Structure 1
């Protein structure tokens, strides 16, 4: 491993003086005497790309991470030469490039330093493999904090940490373990309450050191490839996250059923066991939308086959499960069994689609089926072939989702747990070794799977979930955090991982509820369910080695808690669906760490437990056994205790008492929370009213409600409904205005409005400027029924 101390070795090479400068449209090229070129590209006024080469020319510019559909453009770009530096000005930033050594200084328009090079760009030749080990070091200021980098199992603030990005199968990983399954080389820095982001788009093994080895230095480096990074200026963390999410892309709307509760185990078989599980959910009235089939559904673990002893008629089974509201999701791994009688293997062999070693033979490795070859998903022709393999599963049998596992890629019984580094990849016409392709292998598999499922599920929307991912994978797939452990420590880890993934662009993520390895106590499982229902992806999954992990595997109290919280999630589906819409359209993370919510408050910079779910719900899980409550931090604003209705002011720590069947949940004042009736699965019920929980505030607040057909693509043709609710509370009155967009005809006719915290007795009610007569409106205490298409509700007090 390269250490930061090695960064100072005399073997390192540095840019020398600038010899020439040229501007071409949005880019400025700086050439040095020793053949280094720095290309600075202004993509937006607050988004600048820095790309270095040491060989006098740039290789082909190609990235799997960048969303090419995103348009870029700046308002202002000016290049000025000063005595000792060149200066690039945009409407939001000043970038100075030193004439003597190419060091970068970035400031805002008031010359406040945002980011500055320490050693800056430097490199050492990689004599083992060729090319360079490329390095960058920045000044780390006192009080500076760092966030992001995907699902790292460490404290949310990375100051003082070193992390490694190399996709690896890490069964039963532990706190602070590096590396893990995903590679998201993007971090957010926060200094003087101003936020910026760095996205180091390099798929080789990368490392980040946040002032661990040298107190005032943050550095990042890669074992090959280019020093190629994007600088994003906030100054709000929200601006940084949104810009990064636009840069690397967003998914399409998921079908609503994917936001329901999912049940999984390694493995549910035979068919009678699957039916026993699904029947029990319906019997106990615990809502559930998806049942998963792990590797044992296959014939000898051969992908795209069925074990006919366990599942004699999969099409019939899947159809009957669907009638009961269960969507079937099946696992597909990358390892293709070497078997001359296996049709998938024969096709790939005939077409030469498997990865090869440097000297020509196919890469061979052991996974579940035994000896396997592995498709090269970085080849577009292979991806097209792979997509076509899903026809039978999706079109004929009726499977609704596909789960990609072992795609780091994982290989058993070899020292590095993966491919040898000499394996060759097409890399979309940019041939390379596995050193470069390793970190994006899983993403390209998920991409090929997505393209196949989408093709054959049409006109419905696809559902893909992957274990391994690189930045940009969110365009194709959801994800989960891999093989965690049934422990209280892992409950803490899961909470942080979800917050971190959400601000790292990958919103549709969850953990294995209850833990994959080992067996949770009933209390741990209950506490994990209470947290997991507030994660975008919500699935119980276990290895089954230590016993069962269905909700009824524990006592009646756990069953009741599971039912209560899963039912709450189903009530909140319109709220969660709206969160997705904001994520997909505006790049807004669905889970917001407290530092994201209020970066001005230094108390939030090291908070790990509390998070904002959507825009108006504050969640704080119980992370210790035998808890009667917990201390937590309420951020800025006033908050209603969800269970008691008590209004509490924020920016302070407080003790919150909770029962076993509760966790601290608070609603931001002024928030309007939409709720559906509890359903056992999405689409089970036709209902005529939707509830709006309205929390009084003295002042203004906006809330949103997005709805469409819950599946399909008509929303792209304007057939959606997007309501903006503007709440305006005054001392003796409140006004709610609704502005609607879209052409979707909502199937229900009215809202049931529950008023919380109203400080006055209702005297008169006006709907769309007309006073409502007592005999024309249902009003009971603080509950009011109103036509869904109202434009203004005006309530005055006595």
Structure 2
């Protein structure tokens, strides 16, 4: 074990300083933006993984990655450096970093008036460890016991991670415990530290290696309370993102790692999939019958996703980019019928070839797999038997993969592809990946495979129809996958427990650079959901970015979650899906905001309202800044209670004319046919009132619904419409509505001005809530 210390004086660099350390390391501190500092501890021989694919200030990275110490794409503001009594200080505006040299110890400070306040501080005596025999690098910080910790992606339990220890490691965790299991599917080495007064700082560790994060589970009698990370890599790259609030950090994380892709509007409608349908021996008939029944029974639905059963052979195993002709005897007719019914489609694809796959010998000969030290495919256990992972950091593999997407998926009739089972559980320590011409140890870049798989699928889809925005999905991946597609909380378990805790799993991802999220409706694994639980799952997902019903329950006689599985609640299920389509113009407008600014679509209350009641982690979430959703997650109850945040004018109950004062606790009805929703006074929501049965995501008429508070005042909101599929919005060929709502004692007025060409804007009307005895008027373009 080596505790790092300086071995000589610091030297100024254009954007910070360098400091030579013992054990063959150099500290590099660089101010990249007024709100962003990079702290790197670099081995003399360079990093074993010398590139990054998470950091993308220019919107994306090259396929071969970006040098981990690159400054390209940053504004590089002016800094000042001084040395006092052996302490180095780098200052930029209202932020500075103080560096004690022996042992190495850094403190991040923020100017408050005439004084400086410490917001982060390394642990005394031993902050940076290199454990050479273990191949592990550790970083320790002091932890005030009032600190709170958020982030880390799809982690379980309360949103505040304080007191727990987690692993950043992708793993297939089917049927996980949504409160306690760890690790899960994503790699998100990102933590936001919030002080008692609500000021916060973000920490993004730029590594693809396995990493443990301890946020107070560990305690040593020899130190004050601390937190630390343990990275299986030699060296450290840490980005410090200034706040001062969580709501400042999350958009800046998106600016640093690449803003999320705006998907086509149809992808935000309700979708259905199950392995059992595509696994059926008469899969084409089963899936067609399902599609026809949805239309016949007036189930509002936009897309059907196919499980991987279309690729199975007689042995029941799955062979990507092949088709089972017996299950699908007439694919042309199958896709023609789905298109006639108005459905979009998406196909499951997997990045591992079983050894019996017909393409395996040729792929092995071409070197398309992750390789062992001797050059042979790195064979690991996969679903169905032994197989080898395709190396998506190899340009030849990417070309092979994209040809398969183009011909066997999109060319056969699917609109999109769903990247599944891509956690890359590679454990051979000698295995290497191509690294786009510069080989890398496979075990240290496992998340990269999911990222590049998703990118390859995204770009193949875009090349097939260049005028249309691609849609793709990935179950696994690091921060950065949002540049290409959406994700979800993986193969959850059917239970009331999952319903409650999945809310937090998803909200954590939304704060961690993965905003297009959802949960498998009804639960993927486990028992069949009862009528009440099933309805509550549909209601929860009605107002999330992703709403997909997905299940696999092979041990049951009736193994599939279906919209009509419980006839006694089918009308409630349909009502919840109609609620989704009513709110879809808002969801889509918020998706555009997320794409443009990095603001999350759904978020915990504490993101928008950093007060004590919001930090209590209620069973609730915000849809944008104006809509508070309080799903009923308690079996056998018909009310919910919530502490409403303090806002001028209070909160409107969506379902009636009641207006509740902010800063109060309310209890409202939550019967089985209702999802409790509150709307902030001053909001203007685009709510669909008419949509076609075969394309419910395409609203034909929208009510601009203004929620006026009793207090006098003015509020402003922006709403986005476009054609839902093309890139034309980037050139202003869309509708951007600026809405101004003014309330006085006797009048409420909504003024709407339009920018852009108006493309995609449906017919719209004005609806006003909260008028009471006042008159209402509007001015429309």
Q: TM-score, normalised by structure 1?
A: 0.89
Matched, 1:504 2:512: yes
Instruction: Give the secondary-structure state (helix, strand or coil) at the position aligned to 1:109.
Output: strand
Structure 1's 685 and 663: CA in aligned 2 closer, same or farther, altered over 3 A? Answer: closer
- In structure 2, distance between residues paired with 1:682 and 1:645: 33
Equivalence for 1:415? none
- In structure 2, distance between residues paired with 1:371 and 1:766: 66
Matched, 1:147 2:158: no
Structure 1's 318 and 67: CA in aligned 2 closer, same or farther, altered over 3 A? Answer: same
Q: Deviations over 1:315-344 (max 9, x none)?
A: 32112201111112111111113348x2x4
Matched, 1:206 2:211: yes
Preserved contact between residue 78 and residue 92 of structure 2 (Cα < 8 Å) = yes
Name which of 408, 415, 430 aligns with 2:423: 408
Name which of 595, 598, 603 aligns with 1:587: 598
Structure 1's 254 and 502: CA in aligned 2 closer, same or farther, altered over 3 A? Answer: same
The CA deviation at 1:551 is 4.1
1:438-449 equivalences in 2 (<5 Å): 438-449=446-457
- In structure 2, distance between residues paired with 1:50 and 1:224: 15
The CA deviation at 1:278 is 0.9
Equivalence for 1:265? 274
The CA deviation at 1:549 is 3.8
- In structure 1, distance between residues paired with 2:230 and 2:616: 26
- In structure 1, distance between residues paired with 2:93 and 2:345: 51
Give the count of matched residue pairs.
743
Structure 1's 678 and 157: CA in aligned 2 closer, same or farther, altered over 3 A? Answer: farther
Equivalence for 1:414? none
Instruction: Give the secondary-structure state (helix, strand or coil) at the position aligned to 1:452.
Output: helix
Name which of 515, 523, 548 aligns with 1:515: 523
Q: Deviations over 1:638-671 (max 9, x none)?
A: 1111112211112233322221111221001111
Name which of 710, 713, 718 aligns with 2:732: 718
Matched, 1:337 2:347: no
Equivalence for 1:450? 458
The CA deviation at 1:553 is 4.2
Matched, 1:659 2:671: yes
Instruction: Give the secondary-structure state (helix, strand or coil) at the position aligned to 1:512.
Output: coil
The CA deviation at 1:358 is 1.9
Name which of 39, 50, 55 aligns with 1:50: 39
- In structure 2, distance between residues paired with 1:262 and 1:313: 23
Equivalence for 1:40? 29
The CA deviation at 1:536 is 0.7
Equivalence for 1:125? 131
Equivalence for 1:793? none
Equivalence for 1:773? none
Q: Deviations over 1:160-202 (max 9, x none)?
A: 1111111011121112111111110111111021011000111
The CA deviation at 1:299 is 4.0
- In structure 1, distance between residues paired with 2:173 and 2:440: 25
Preserved contact between residue 40 and residue 48 of structure 1 (Cα < 8 Å) = yes
Preserved contact between residue 48 and residue 234 of structure 2 (Cα < 8 Å) = no
Preserved contact between residue 289 and residue 681 of structure 1 (Cα < 8 Å) = no
- In structure 2, distance between residues paired with 1:15 and 1:543: 51
Equivalence for 1:413? none
Structure 1's 687 and 81: CA in aligned 2 closer, same or farther, altered over 3 A? Answer: closer
Equivalence for 1:237? 246
Matched, 1:610 2:620: yes
Equivalence for 2:572? 561
Q: CA-atom RMSD, angstroms?
A: 2.1
Preserved contact between residue 332 and residue 403 of structure 1 (Cα < 8 Å) = yes
Structure 1's 590 and 748: CA in aligned 2 closer, same or farther, altered over 3 A? Answer: closer
Matched, 1:469 2:473: no
Equivalence for 2:62? none
Q: Deviations over 1:537-556 (max 9, x none)?
A: 10011104222444444333
Matched, 1:170 2:177: no
Instruction: Give the secondary-structure state (helix, strand or coil) at the position aligned to 2:94.
Output: coil
The CA deviation at 1:488 is 0.6
- In structure 1, distance between residues paired with 2:483 and 2:697: 31
Matched, 1:310 2:327: yes
The CA deviation at 1:100 is 2.5
Preserved contact between residue 358 and residue 422 of structure 1 (Cα < 8 Å) = yes
Preserved contact between residue 267 and residue 293 of structure 1 (Cα < 8 Å) = no
- In structure 1, distance between residues paired with 2:436 and 2:632: 47
Q: Deviations over 1:739-778 (max 9, x none)?
A: 32222434544x321111113242x8474xxxxxxxxxxx
- Which segment is superposed worse, 693-702 or 241-250? 693-702
1:289-300 equivalences in 2 (<5 Å): 289-300=302-313
Instruction: Give the secondary-structure state (helix, strand or coil) at the position aligned to 2:411.
Output: helix
Equivalence for 1:351? 366
Equivalence for 1:755? 768
Preserved contact between residue 204 and residue 225 of structure 1 (Cα < 8 Å) = no
Runs (5+) with no aligned partner, structure 2: 60-72
Instruction: Give the secondary-structure state (helix, strand or coil) at the position aligned to 2:376.
Output: coil
- In structure 2, distance between residues paired with 1:521 and 1:59: 51
The CA deviation at 1:288 is 0.6
The CA deviation at 1:738 is 2.4
Q: Deviations over 1:222-264 (max 9, x none)?
A: 1124211100111021111111111111232100000000101
The CA deviation at 1:680 is 5.5
Name which of 699, 704, 709 aligns with 2:718: 704
- Which segment is superposed worse, 428-437 or 278-287? 428-437
- Which segment is superposed worse, 68-77 or 37-46? 68-77
The CA deviation at 1:471 is 1.1
Structure 1's 459 and 682: CA in aligned 2 closer, same or farther, altered over 3 A? Answer: farther
The CA deviation at 1:22 is 2.1
Matched, 1:158 2:161: yes
The CA deviation at 1:297 is 0.9
Name which of 77, 80, 93 aligns with 2:79: 77
- In structure 2, distance between residues paired with 1:685 and 1:168: 34
Equivalence for 1:597? 608
- In structure 1, distance between residues paired with 2:324 and 2:692: 30
Instruction: Give the secondary-structure state (helix, strand or coil) at the position aligned to 2:277.
Output: coil
The CA deviation at 1:217 is 0.6
- In structure 2, distance between residues paired with 1:620 and 1:593: 11
- In structure 2, distance between residues paired with 1:608 and 1:393: 46
Equivalence for 2:443? 435
Instruction: Give the secondary-structure state (helix, strand or coil) at the position aligned to 1:692.
Output: strand
Matched, 1:524 2:529: no
Matched, 1:66 2:55: yes
Equivalence for 1:16? 5
- In structure 1, distance between residues paired with 2:499 and 2:522: 8
1:81-96 equivalences in 2 (<5 Å): 81-96=83-98
Name which of 480, 492, 496 aligns with 1:484: 492
1:531-570 equivalences in 2 (<5 Å): 531-545=540-554, 546=556, 547-570=558-581
Structure 1's 170 and 316: CA in aligned 2 closer, same or farther, altered over 3 A? Answer: same
- In structure 2, distance between residues paired with 1:240 and 1:552: 39
Equivalence for 2:297? 284
Structure 1's 280 and 488: CA in aligned 2 closer, same or farther, altered over 3 A? Answer: same
Q: TM-score, normalised by structure 2?
A: 0.91
- In structure 1, distance between residues paired with 2:46 and 2:513: 32
Instruction: Give the secondary-structure state (helix, strand or coil) at the position aligned to 1:231.
Output: strand
The CA deviation at 1:439 is 2.7
Preserved contact between residue 582 and residue 588 of structure 1 (Cα < 8 Å) = yes
Q: Deviations over 1:74-106 (max 9, x none)?
A: 443111111231111111311111132231111
Instruction: Give the secondary-structure state (helix, strand or coil) at the position aligned to 1:596.
Output: helix
Structure 1's 566 and 666: CA in aligned 2 closer, same or farther, altered over 3 A? Answer: same
Matched, 1:676 2:688: yes
Matched, 1:621 2:631: yes
Preserved contact between residue 250 and residue 475 of structure 1 (Cα < 8 Å) = yes
- In structure 2, distance between residues paired with 1:213 and 1:60: 29
Preserved contact between residue 409 and residue 417 of structure 2 (Cα < 8 Å) = no
- In structure 2, distance between residues paired with 1:681 and 1:646: 32
Runs (5+) with no aligned partner, structure 1: 1-11, 411-417, 768-786, 790-798
